[in-house]
A and B are shown apart, each in its own frame.
Chain A
Amino acid sequence: MSQTATRPDDLMGLSEDEYDTILDIMGRAPNFTELSIFSVMWSEHCSYKSSKFWLKTLPTEGPQVIQGPGENAGVIDIGDGLAAIFKIESHNHPSFIEPYQGAATGVGGILRDVFTMGARPVANMNALRFGSPDHPKTRHLVDGVVAGIGGYGNCIGVPTVGGEVNFDPAYNGNILVNAMTVGIANTDKIFYSAAAGTGLPVVYVGSKTGRDGIHGATMASAEFDDDSAEKRPTVQVGDPFTEKLLLEACLELMATDAIVAIQDMGAAGLTSSSVEMASKGEVGITLTLDDVPMRETGMQPFELMLSESQERMLMVLKPGREDEARAIFEKWELDFAVIGETNDSERLVLMWEGEVAADIPVPPLVAAAPEYERPWTATPPREVVSPDAVPAPMDPGAALLTLIESPDLCSRRWIWEQYDHMVMGDTVGRPGGDAALVRVHGTGKALAISTDCTPRYVEANPVEGGKQAVAEAWRNVTATGATPLAVTNNLNFGNPERPEIMGQLVGAVQGMGAACTALDSPVVSGNVSLYNETNGAAILPTPVIGCVGLLDDVTTRASAAFGDDGEAVFVVGETTGWLGCSIYQRDMAGGSAGAPPPVDLDLERRNGDFVRAGILSGRISACHDVSDGGLAVALAEMAIAGHTGAEIDHDPAIPVHAWLFGEDQARYVVTTGDPDGLEAAAKAAGVPVNRIGRVGGAALTLPGAGPISVASLREAHERWLPEYMASR
């Protein structure tokens, strides 16, 4: 075996201390291949070394949880022998460098995480953050990311049913592309990654291995500088057609009982998949790298181990089942190769041209992975801004039109019309509503899915912002009538080695944990993306939540569209006119400042449970959560969706602009044909409700503003994004 007697100049992103630990583990200097394996396994991306300490504090259990964090995706029970399997994952760094392929392979990766576990993917979601619309790269990045997400999801035939998009200069140098997939499996057919048993064949299936994506995980664990575009070769190239074949072939093989364990090759490719399987199964694995299907000649062991070529899986089969499995993969015209065997050594041994190319003990490779309790400083609290301190607009109606036309609040139609959101024939709630609704195929149930985060709140107060991300996702699911069951999270932050950034992460995790506990929505899977910085400037802290809920009877649901003329309009929840950190303050009153709206989790729970019961009893006909832009924007969106106006004649006791645009939490706008019944039920439940007007007419009339036609609202709402994308 080749030996490196002296300490190498390039530690491949590892610290001196980490290298010393490797020397202890190996009892000698690691060779180049071995060091490469340690480097990726101990990268931030694969080891979660900065975040693990805090992630452990999140609630991850509940009667609905079949599998929490630690597998390819989280699994929850949705009754009738079925499970929902889901996860969100970032592909931020590659998407900035090469937006189409970066976003496409982000979708491909998260799809594999879900079908690896035996689920048929049924819905894709995403959460996107771009820089300022004025930044010269933004249009190109939006165009490429949207085309990439669509290009992959449309081809594989899984509907992309919703998501969220924000623009802010803080993302100019680091966009965020978080992709989420939800799948459905039978609870007795869930597949895990533990390679339990010795003498079992280790099988490689899918695409051939090339040189793409080498050190992608390491790239995703470092800041960008001016030369980041030179990292383009570390971005993988996706082939959704091959993934479709891989999906069908895997599900066909999974219908048999030939598989012991299965793991997709994602970040760090063959390295992390084989180490994961060996570690969880407490076995050793010997791989003969010469047998790995290769796309090009002259590849070296470290390249084979680090390649992030897409659309590949590693499986451990029951002995003697190779031919049966091979027949399925050959039918789907995919590579199938037995490349190794499990044993009881608990070592990862790589053979190459008849010699040992690497020999690493697996338990310390995994267990000794560094874990840092990095120093952190709490974000200093900000002062509460009184509504009177935020200037009122000359004309609230004009202000509303400006807001619903603005980049952060305008219609996302230009984006979701490029996504096939209807394939598979179960999309009941299409994009543009509070949460997407996807029927569970062949049943009368549906899953409600939402992704949310309000980064400006998190920046102002990470704890409240962390709570709010969970609360808003939970509220969006609730607004359809569904019961939220669990969440997945994607923690996007800057450089954790800076105490103030680490403080954002710590605060956000604390807030999220509190909200997940209070709202009975444990975290079952997730992903952390750090070092989202360029030349020392970090993104806004963006801990995205993806929430999944269950609607038992899909025919009993609410949408945000105003319905019948004459129905009463209510606000559920207390309106104090909180303008600090509101969109109104940011865009029309001098910039985001002050403390964000506090999140009272007891109120969230009580108000949400009240709204859900109202929808399920049929009393509430339309429902929309109140978030960015406050009541005025929520009412406008309901009018646009329902093609009908409303007369809002409430006379608020607080300044009108604060009532219209304040962003107090735990609120919903609902409509009902039974206002007395709603008020009585609210009183019994201890939930504050305010009757503010009635549905009807062709215009939305708001306090302090003249009637605004629904047609002009729609025109304003639909205008900006297509015009922006068409301009040069």
Chain B
Amino acid sequence: MSAAVIVFPGSNCDRDVAVSLEAAMGRAPYMVWHGDSELPDVDLIVVPGGFSYGDYLRSGAMAANSPVMREVVARANAGTPTLGICNGFQVLTECGLLPGVLMRNASLKFVCRDVDLRVERADTVFTRHYREGQVIRIPVAHHDGNYFTDPDTLKALEDNRQVAFRYCAPDGSLSEDSNPNGSLANIAGVLNAGGNVLGMMPHPERLAEALLGGTDGAPMFASLAEAVAA
């Protein structure tokens, strides 16, 4: 079992997620440069956080057109588990693997803080070590995390149960107060229809170690390690 982390100019959470992957999988992931058109034969692809291409034009827009992304899209469409975190989520929406867009935060400010998330799906390769309805606490750190889509797409997402995480209060209830960026329906993470592509704004890799203040991100990497080993 092996994983690849895609590195764009301006990626800055590539090392962080590699640390979490190695801790869970016992093996360092391949770090794949954006200019490469070939991707190693891997069981998991991760598009990390950061500011690919400085967020110029639009967050994720330029990275989505990198040479390596053609191969990422092909593999994801063929069923390879693909995780996009923060800027990675923006890239996955820009390249069409996930529906919707990430707009500027409603506050118009960058926000970095721990948030509570309600796990909406515990039956995916990413979340099988969580319980459905469980409230987990991991941080967000973004300027453009305000998830939006048109009403038909939103209905389809809800009908197909493609929302993986929602911003919530510590008791799991949903409110505007618990929404850090104005996302539609408090959406923090979405799956593709096949359930093998997940994009999420919060950073599970940042709280996967007790020393750093929490471990609620660790089950995601444990889930992935188990899923790709199977």
A binds B: yes
Interface of A with B (CB < 8 Å)? 147, 150-151, 154-157, 239-242, 244-245, 331-333, 416-428, 430, 439, 554-555
B26 at the interface (CB under 8 A from A): no
Q: Are A428 and B51 in contact (CB under 8 A)?
A: no
Q: Are B211 and A424 in contact (CB under 8 A)?
A: no
Q: Are A427 and B212 in contact (CB under 8 A)?
A: yes
Q: How far is the CB of B199 from chain A (nearest CB, A)?
A: 19
Q: Are B12 and A156 in contact (CB under 8 A)?
A: yes
Contact of B211 among A151, A156, A555 (CB under 8 A): A555
B13 at the interface (CB under 8 A from A): yes
Q: Are B16 and A424 in contact (CB under 8 A)?
A: yes
B96 at the interface (CB under 8 A from A): no
B113: A residues at CB distance < 8 A: 417
B12: A residues at CB distance < 8 A: 155-157, 244, 423
Contact of B110 among A241, A245, A420 (CB under 8 A): A420
Query: How many residues from B make CB contacts under 8 Å with A?
Result: 30
B112 at the interface (CB under 8 A from A): yes
* CA A555 to CA B212, docked complex, whole Å: 11
B61 at the interface (CB under 8 A from A): no
- Mask: chain B, 120-146; 1 = CB below 8 Å from A; 0 = not: 000000000000000000010101000
Q: Are B10 and A244 in contact (CB under 8 A)?
A: yes
* CA A652 to CA B155, docked complex, whole Å: 66
Which are the 6 A-B pairs with shortest beta-carbon distances? Answer: A157-B12, A241-B54, A425-B16, A155-B51, A420-B141, A420-B112
Q: Are B50 and A157 in contact (CB under 8 A)?
A: yes
* CA A672 to CA B61, docked complex, whole Å: 54
A439: B residues at CB distance < 8 A: 211
Q: Are B206 and A157 in contact (CB under 8 A)?
A: no
A147: B residues at CB distance < 8 A: 109-110
B55: A residues at CB distance < 8 A: 155, 241
Q: How far is the CB of A254 from chain B (nearest CB, A)?
A: 17
A332: B residues at CB distance < 8 A: 9
Q: Are A157 and B109 in contact (CB under 8 A)?
A: no
Q: Are B206 and A418 in contact (CB under 8 A)?
A: no
* CA A154 to CA B13, docked complex, whole Å: 11
A242: B residues at CB distance < 8 A: 54
Beta-carbon contacts under 8 Å, B1-25 to A: 9-10, 12-13, 15-16, 19
* CA A420 to CA B143, docked complex, whole Å: 10
Q: How far is the CB of A415 from chain B (nearest CB, A)?
A: 11
Q: Are B16 and A554 in contact (CB under 8 A)?
A: no
Q: Are A241 and B211 in contact (CB under 8 A)?
A: no
B205: A residues at CB distance < 8 A: 425
* CA A419 to CA B143, docked complex, whole Å: 10
* CA A52 to CA B54, docked complex, whole Å: 40
Q: Are A154 and B56 in contact (CB under 8 A)?
A: no
B109: A residues at CB distance < 8 A: 147, 418
With contacts A154-B110, A418-B110 taken as known, whether A423 is within 8 angstroms of B13 at the C-beta atoms is yes
Contact of A418 among B19, B35, B112 (CB under 8 A): B112
B54: A residues at CB distance < 8 A: 155, 239-242, 244
Q: How far is the CB of B15 from chain A (nearest CB, A)?
A: 7
B51: A residues at CB distance < 8 A: 154-155, 157, 240-241, 244
Q: Are A423 and B10 in contact (CB under 8 A)?
A: no
Q: Are A155 and B10 in contact (CB under 8 A)?
A: yes
Q: Are A150 and B13 in contact (CB under 8 A)?
A: no
With contacts A157-B51, A422-B139 taken as known, whether A241 is within 8 angstroms of B56 at the C-beta atoms is yes
Q: Are B206 and A154 in contact (CB under 8 A)?
A: no
Q: How far is the CB of B78 from chain A (nearest CB, A)?
A: 30
* CA A419 to CA B212, docked complex, whole Å: 17
With contacts A240-B51, A244-B12, A332-B9 taken as known, whether A418 is within 8 angstroms of B213 at the C-beta atoms is no
B227 at the interface (CB under 8 A from A): no
Q: Are B212 and A425 in contact (CB under 8 A)?
A: yes
- Mask: chain B, 35-77; 1 = CB below 8 Å from A; 0 = not: 1000000000000011101111000000000000000000000
Q: Are A245 and B112 in contact (CB under 8 A)?
A: no
Closest residue of chain B to A242, judged by CB?
A: B54
B111 at the interface (CB under 8 A from A): yes
Closest residue of chain B to A413, judged by CB?
A: B113
* CA A426 to CA B16, docked complex, whole Å: 9
* CA A147 to CA B105, docked complex, whole Å: 14
Q: Are A423 and B16 in contact (CB under 8 A)?
A: yes
A426: B residues at CB distance < 8 A: 212
B53: A residues at CB distance < 8 A: 241
Contact of B206 among A156, A244, A422, A555 (CB under 8 A): A422
Closest residue of chain B to A446, judged by CB?
A: B211
Closest residue of chain B to A243, judged by CB?
A: B54
Q: Are B212 and A428 in contact (CB under 8 A)?
A: yes
Closest residue of chain B to A425, judged by CB?
A: B16
Closest residue of chain A to B109, judged by CB?
A: A418
Closest residue of chain B to A417, judged by CB?
A: B113
Closest residue of chain A to B56, judged by CB?
A: A241
Q: Are B13 and A157 in contact (CB under 8 A)?
A: yes
Beta-carbon contacts under 8 Å, B175-230 to A: 203, 205-206, 209, 211-213
Q: Are A424 and B9 in contact (CB under 8 A)?
A: no
Closest residue of chain A to B112, judged by CB?
A: A420
A422: B residues at CB distance < 8 A: 112, 139, 141, 203, 206, 212
* CA A147 to CA B203, docked complex, whole Å: 22
Q: Are A154 and B141 in contact (CB under 8 A)?
A: yes
With contacts A155-B55, A424-B15 taken as known, whether A241 is within 8 angstroms of B10 at the C-beta atoms is yes
The 21 sampled A-B contact pairs (Cβ below 8 Å) are A154-B110, A154-B141, A154-B143, A157-B12, A157-B51, A241-B9, A241-B51, A241-B55, A245-B9, A418-B111, A420-B110, A421-B112, A422-B112, A422-B139, A422-B141, A423-B16, A425-B205, A425-B206, A428-B213, A439-B211, A554-B211
* CA A331 to CA B206, docked complex, whole Å: 29
Closest residue of chain A to B141, judged by CB?
A: A420
* CA A430 to CA B10, docked complex, whole Å: 24
* CA A421 to CA B213, docked complex, whole Å: 13
Q: Which of B16, B35, B112 is most buried by chain A, counting CB atoms within 10 A of its CB? A: B112
Q: Are B112 and A419 in contact (CB under 8 A)?
A: yes
Q: Which of B9, B49, B139, B209 is most buried by chain A, counting CB atoms within 10 A of its CB? A: B9
- Since A418-B109, A428-B211 are in contact, a sample of 7 more A-B pairs with Cβ atoms closer than 8 Å, ordered by chain A residue number, is A154-B51, A155-B55, A156-B12, A241-B51, A245-B9, A331-B35, A418-B110
